[in-house]
Amino acid sequence: MNHSITSHPCDNVSLAQLTELAQSGNSEAQYILGRLYNDERIDGSEEDKLSFYWLQQAAEQGHCEAQYWLGLRYKDTPTDMKDNTLALFWSEKAAQQGHRHAFNTLGWVQEGETGMAPDYAQAVAWYRKGAEQSHNLAQYNLGRMYHSGTGVEQNDTQALYWFKQAALQGHCASQERLAYMYGN
């Protein structure tokens, strides 16, 4: 299902109309409202709560982008809404639908970056899924894991390959890693 904002009946509607669509159960309208409130929020504000609410409504209906963004919100928010278990849950839901950004997020979570116990082999597996879908940050992260031998056997050939793939997409840190590796 295509959830593109530019090709949906929610295009060019007022906030009141969008809210009415969302309240009637339209998952795209719910997602758009969640993102709009996310962009206008101050952590802990009413907009922050509305962002969570509308993203949750859309995510529960299987809206892949909403699942991804809800996972990010639960992972990144500095408020009492932070919940690593829910971040993992919603990110996995998005990943099950093939969301390439969710693969990278899950790799990051599995590295223990949210305070959960690290599972480096699982992090590598998630990064690989994103990398194979040309997600430049997942490519960089997979290269980093190969370079350090974290969660996978150390392999500079693989590290160079993945850094190069990301660098070709303009990923600056990958370009720096390549320069360093070729310089040594």
Closest-CA residue to 51 (of 24, 25, 22, 26):
22
**Among the three residues 97, 115, 149, which one is the final residue of a domain in this structure?**
97
CATH number at residue 177: 1.25.40.10
pLDDT band at 127 (very low <50, low <70, confident <90, very high): very high
Parent domain of 146: 100-184
Tens digit of pLDDT for each residue in 64-99? 999 999 999 988 877 677 788 898 999 999 999 999
Tens digit of pLDDT for each residue in 1-11? 333 343 444 55
User: Looking at the domain assignment, is residue 1 inside a domain?
Assistant: no
User: What is the number of helices (H) and of strands (E) in the chain?
Assistant: 10, 0
Q: Are 138 and 107 in contact (CB under 8 A)?
A: yes
User: Looking at the domain assignment, is residue 83 inside a domain?
Assistant: yes
pTM: 0.81
**Interacting residues of 14 by C-beta distance below 8 A, sequence separation 6+:** none
